[in-house]
Amino acid sequence: MTIMKATCLVLPARLRQCVIALAIALAAPLVAHAQQSAVDRFIANYQARVTATQNEQPHWVTPLVTVTPRLEQEFRTDFVHQYNPAGKDVWNYGNGKGLELIPERHTEIIVNLPPFFDRSNGEADGFGDISFLAKERLFSRNEEHGNAIVTVFLAGSIPTGKNANGSCCAVVTPTLAVGKGFGQLALTSTAGGTLPVSNVKGLGRTIVWNNTFQYRAAKTGVARLFWPELEFNSTFYKGGANDGKVATFATPGMIIGRIPLTHKPDGTPGRLGLTFGAGQQIAVTHFHTFNHATVITARLPF
């Protein structure tokens, strides 16, 4: 043993460095594999929990405009083309949609990217406000045990918009959302209020009430992917420039999904899917801040 130690001590410095480098090179794949295995286990456990959570609630598709009371995990982007009161068209790229995650059994967190407004009326183009939304599911029953859900939301926006394409002030929006299914028919209703953090007199407050009627075309086959719907989106203005006015839109549309993009070894659909759809918001009240808004949505549930 003493001879071996002495031999190691007399090795040239460059040779010792080579031996150390070789040992690190041989150990690195083992460390990387262990780290990758830990990441794989975390993702597998996370996704399994998300699946179990979603299996406790109805499996309706998310409406075109109304925020669903269901907990969803997806990346979503919308495109909206509408006409302002002067008859000029405006494109909204993104429509304030983004990443939706389910970090806990009853909770969903949404981080929305700021929309980009492309205007043709001489006003400046630019990005709108960034926004966030948190959901807390209070009650849920899947299709076999009552087909219903109750959830509360808390949304907030930060005035990051440029060139008057956003609000002047931060806004908080608490909302109550409920849903009930009757066979292939699903009814969803949400009611909330926008509460400006400052400049309440100038901005005023609004009460937003949305009601959605969806019908799943079939339980099996390709038709199971088709969800025709009709939404009624109403805004009641309290204070501000539009005090006392009401704007209501009827929004017929069609959602198609979820189309599975992956499959498990046993042939059942994986979590990754594709959902898309389109519809149009049509003003049904004399007062409205825009009209004939074509809404196109694309989502990647995972």
- Tens of pLDDT, residue by residue over 150-159, are 999 999 999 9
Work out the pLDDT band at 8, boundaries 50, 70, 90.
Answer: very low
Work out the pLDDT band at 30, boundaries 50, 70, 90.
Answer: low
Q: 3-state DSSP call for residue 227? A: strand
CA–CA separation, 42 and 35 (whole Å): 11
Which of the pair, 164 or 31, is modelled with greater confidence? 164
- Proportion of the chain above pLDDT 90, given as a percent: 74
pLDDT score at 64: 97
Structure tokens at 222: 């390709």
Which of the pair, 70 or 36, is modelled with greater confidence? 70
Mean predicted confidence (pLDDT) in 108-119: 95
Q: 3-state DSSP call for residue 71? A: coil
Reply yes or no on whether the pLDDT at 284 is more than 70: yes
Mean predicted confidence (pLDDT) in 54-71: 97
Reply yes or no on whether the pLDDT at 98 is more than 80: yes
Q: With helix as H, strand as E and coil as C, how does 159-226 read?
A: CCCCCCCCCCCCEEEEEEEEEEEECCEEEEEEEEEEEECCCHHHHCEEEEEEEEEEECCCCCCHHHHE
Reply yes or no on whether the pLDDT at 31 is more than 80: no
pLDDT score at 33: 66
For the chain, the farthest-separated pair of C-alpha atoms sits apart, in whole angstroms, at 99
Mean pLDDT of the chain: 90
Neighbouring residues of 245: CB distance < 8 A, sequence distance ≥ 6: 237, 287
Q: Is the pTM of this model over 0.75?
A: yes
pLDDT score at 152: 98
Mean predicted confidence (pLDDT) in 7-30: 64
Domains along the chain? 55-301 (2.40.160.40)
CA–CA separation, 273 and 250 (whole Å): 28
Give ∠ CA 142-145-151 in degrees, rounded to 5: 45
Mean predicted confidence (pLDDT) in 256-284: 95
Residue 250's beta-bridge partner residues? 232, 282
Out of 81-85, 218-222, 258-262, 288-292, pick the least confident. Answer: 81-85
Work out the pLDDT band at 168, boundaries 50, 70, 90.
Answer: confident
Mean predicted confidence (pLDDT) in 239-260: 96
Give ∠ CA 174-66-261 in degrees, rounded to 5: 120
